[in-house]
Amino acid sequence: MKKNTLAAAAALALLLAACFFPAACGRPAPEGGPPGSENFVTIKGSDTMVHLVTSWAEAYMDVNPDANISVTGGGSGTGIAALLNGNTDICAASRETSGEEKQLAQQKNMDIKEYKVARDGIAVVVNPANPIPELTLEQLKKIYTGAVNDWSQVGGPPGQIVLLSRESSSGTYVFFQEHVLQKQDYAVDARLMPATSAIVQSVADDAQAIGYVGLGYALEAADRVKILAVKANETAPAVLPSEETIRSGAYSIARPLYYYVAAPVSEAVAGFIEFCLSPPGQKIVKEIGYIAVS
Amino acid sequence: MVPRQVKELGIAYVLMAASFACILIVFFIFLFLFREATPFVAKPGLGTLFDERWIPVSFQQQRFGIYPLITGSLLVTFLATALAVPFGVCAAVYIAEVARPKEREFLKPFIELMAAIPSVVLGFFGLVVLAPVVKAAFNLPTGLTALTGAILLAFMAIPTITSISEDAIKSVPRSYREASLALGATEMQTVWRVTVPAGLAGIVAAVMLGMGRVIGETMAVLMVTGNAAVITLNPLRSVRTMTATIAAEMGEVTYGSAHYQALFWIGILLLAATFILNIVAQRVLRSHQRY
């Protein structure tokens, strides 16, 4: 019996240690130079971008057999923290650095450089059974702040709106809050889902649900969910997210994806970033479902 | 003679070091949690935690009210316990008192095997299979509710409750049963009126240890409870538990920010809760073993 308790306590201890120690042990060495050897590049950050960055890394290593690139996710914030602590060469981020993070960089005397490497559109998705074809940004804002909670208030059949959002740790959450909610808080009963796949799954199951996901994911799941057209305002045309509409700016909910590095960078890092921005690099962006920057 | 004594002593010290290392680790974890969490006391102040809204990411004003997280954890924990206790205790009684040896050999390992299902797998099962069932059963717009999480957690608590309750029931002295049967009680009367009451302290301890497991569980609840930080006692609404909050937000939080420290306070609260549950359960168990 006691063994059980001890095992439970030990498991808890290990779990907590596993959760917290990386953050604590990551206490920065004052000179955060790039780790590893000349040809070794580490990239850490946004989960949204992992697939894209991995594809870049594979293509780059095909043409440069000497290069050794390792890619991990963990989230934009994790990536930026790792960059500031000198634990990664490049941070991939789906949002801009926050004021707090910029301050931290200044304190450490680090020169952080920003590169826009791709663009991403955020699609608003509902259940295929939902007859609504489009929403205005204003309606989306009202829905997500909780001012409107029934589909009949936005031109649909009566029924409670089930709000699905990403977790507050997600870059997509912050972007949506800034650009669609116009910096208002999300409604208190918005369900925060741990992953994009969980949003797609729930929207596919629940007739009254609404969610937002990256365009790449939405297109992949197009047979299970319905992508809504978005009107910038009452009189503007309804626009479905696509490469053209995002590049031209006609579709309102789009964002840049970034690389952050601490200057000066090694030759290997500079070479890789140059590759990502080059025509072959940007072709990979399109293949994966994002939008090229150039 | 002497080398042998040295060897014996050496082994004793190794064993001692191993057992004290455990205590040391727990101590360091407490210390570490407090070290990371303390700056919060100065700014923005501990009072910030006693609030009704948890809005850690906001362009308006960050709020770190832990009330919804506490009610969320409590609601899911008590629901799960309420669901797990009848199954767990009945299974324990059956295995300890009624089952034939063959059945026992088959049942006990299988129930204990339930404890070995990775919680993320259980969570995935919950999201894809259980949530639609709950949704249809209660005619809800979505199945991501406190109840869905509680059902999954009940699955995790049942093996703990069954296994420890069964030990407790089995350790009731034979003489109790024999006396009861000799007085003319039937077998079932003996089980429910004599054996189970005599083992009650152990069963209570088993339930508490099960609760300890449930309150600390993370992945399954993160996937199926919907994670909306609402203060509610309605099992059919979405809740956000303390564990899910830490797991979901720790990865992205700015190192050393107020939000980061608030998460550590939640961690301290959670550790304290499981610690107290475990200590009380062990006390109860010990008092029970006194005969």
Task: Report yes or no: B109 at the A interface, CB cutoff 8 Å.
Answer: no
DSSP assignment of chain A, as one string? Answer: -HHHHHHHHHHHHHHHHHHHHHHHHT---SS-PPPS-TTEEEEEE-TTTHHHHHHHHHHHHHH-TT-EEEEE-S-HHHHHHHHHTTS-SEEEESSPPPHHHHHHHHHTT-EEEEEEEEEEEEEEEE-TT----EEEHHHHHHHHHTS--BGGGGTS-S-B-EEEEE-TTSHHHHHHHHHTSTTPPPPTT-EEESSHHHHHHHHHH-TTEEEEEEHHHHHHTTTTSEEPEEESSTTSPEE---HHHHHHT-SSSEEEEEEEEEESPPHHHHHHHHHHHSHHHHHHHHHHT-B---
Residue B246 lies in a domain: yes
Which positions 130-169 of B are in contact with A (Cβ < 8 Å)?
A: 131-132, 135, 141-144, 160, 163-164, 167
Whether residues B31 and B127 share a domain: the answer is no
Whether residues B13 and B155 share a domain: the answer is no
Q: At what angle do helices A267-277 and A50-63 cross, to 10 degrees?
A: 110
- Give the chain B residue nearest A100 (alpha carbons): B254
Please give the average per-residue pLDDT across A27-51, as a whole number: 65
Residue B282: per-residue pLDDT = 86
> Which residues, at least 6 apart from A251, have a Cβ–Cβ distance to it below 8 Å?
A121, A230, A239, A240, A241, A242, A245
- Give the chain B residue nearest A18 (alpha carbons): B29
Query: What's the total number of domains in chain B?
Result: 2
- Give the chain A residue nearest B289 (alpha carbons): A1
Whether residues B28 and B79 share a domain: the answer is no
What pLDDT, in 10s, does the model give residues A89-109?
999 998 888 888 899 899 989
pLDDT reading at A1 higher than 60: no
Which positions 206-245 of B are in contact with A (Cβ < 8 Å)?
A: 209, 212-213, 216, 222-223, 226-230, 237-238, 240
- Of A24-33, B144-153, B231-240, B282-291, the range with the lowest mean pLDDT is A24-33
Where is pLDDT greater, at A28 or A84? A84
Whether residues B30 and B53 share a domain: the answer is no
Q: Do B252 and A100 touch (CB under 8 A)?
A: no
Candidates B28, B30, B142, partner chain A, best to mutate (most A CBs within 10 A):
B142
Residue B115: per-residue pLDDT = 84
Structure-block tokens of residue B228: 């909306």
CA distance B45 to chain A (A): 19
What pLDDT, in 10s, does the model give residues A199-242?
999 999 899 999 999 888 888 888 999 999 999 988 889 999 98
Whether residues B14 and B87 share a domain: the answer is no
Whether residues B33 and B52 share a domain: the answer is no
Whether residues B54 and B17 share a domain: the answer is no
Residue B147 lies in a domain: yes
CA B15-B19-B25 angle, 5° bins:
140
Task: Report yes or no: B116 at the A interface, CB cutoff 8 Å.
Answer: no
Residue A36: per-residue pLDDT = 46
Q: ipTM greater than 0.85, yes or no?
A: no
Q: Do A20 and B135 touch (CB under 8 A)?
A: no
What pLDDT, in 10s, does the model give residues B55-73?
988 888 889 999 999 999 9
Whether residues B157 and B279 share a domain: the answer is yes
Whether residues B99 and B199 share a domain: the answer is yes
Whether residues B53 and B27 share a domain: the answer is no
Residue B191 lies in a domain: yes
B187/A185 Cα distance (integer angstroms): 62
Residue B254 lies in a domain: yes
Residue B42 lies in a domain: no
CATH number at residue B184: 1.10.3720.10
Query: What is the share, in percent, of chain B residues with pLDDT greater than 90?
Result: 66
Whether residues B195 and B83 share a domain: the answer is yes
Q: Which amino acid is at A210?
A: I
Please give the average per-residue pLDDT across B145-157, as a whole number: 94
Residue B177 lies in a domain: yes
What pLDDT, in 10s, does the model give residues B225-268?
999 999 999 999 999 999 999 998 887 677 788 899 999 999 99
Residue B148 lies in a domain: yes
Whether residues B146 and B12 share a domain: the answer is no
Tell me if B39 sits within 8 A of B261, measured CB to CB.
Answer: yes
> Which residues, at least 6 apart from B8, have a Cβ–Cβ distance to it below 8 Å?
none
Structural domain including B140 reads: 48-288
pLDDT reading at A27 higher than 70: no
From chain B, pick out residues whose CB is under 8 angstroms from the CB of A170: 252
User: What is the band of B112 on the pLDDT scale with cuts at 50, 70, 90?
Assistant: confident
User: What is the band of B20 on the pLDDT scale with cuts at 50, 70, 90?
Assistant: very high
What pLDDT, in 10s, does the model give residues B172-197?
999 999 999 999 999 999 999 999 99
* pTM strictly above 0.80: no
Residue A38: per-residue pLDDT = 66
Residue B43 lies in a domain: no
Query: How many CB contacts within 8 angstroms connect chain A with chain B?
Result: 153
Integer angstrom CA distances of residue B141 from A143, A164, B75, B237: 16, 12, 21, 10
